[in-house]
Amino acid sequence: MSILIDKNTRLVVHGITGNEGLFHTTQMLAYGTQVVAGVTPGKGGEWVENKVPVFDSAKLAVEATGANTSIIFVPARFAADSIFEAADSGVKLIVCITEGVPVQDMIRVRAYLDQVNIRLVGPNCPGLLTPGESKVGIIPGNIAIPGNIGVVSRSGTLTYEVLYALKLKGMGVSTCVGIGGDPINGTNFIDALSMFEADPYTEKVILMGEIGGTDEEKAAEFISKHMTKPVVSFIAGQSAPPGKRMGHAGAIVEGGSGLAADKVKALESAGVKVAKHPEQIPDLLS
* Active centre residues (catalytic): 248
From residue 184, alpha-carbon distances to 101, 153, 253 in Å are 10, 15, 16
Question: How far is 62 from 168, CA to CA, in rounded Å?
Answer: 39
* Beta strand pairing call for 127-130 and 173-178: antiparallel
* Distance (Å, whole) CA 264 – CA 276: 10
Burial label for 84, CB within 10 Å (0-12, 13-18, 19+), is middle
SS3 105: helix
Q: How far is CA 255 from CA 84, 212, 238, 252, in A?
A: 34, 11, 16, 10
Tell me the C-alpha distance between 178 and 121, whole Å. 8
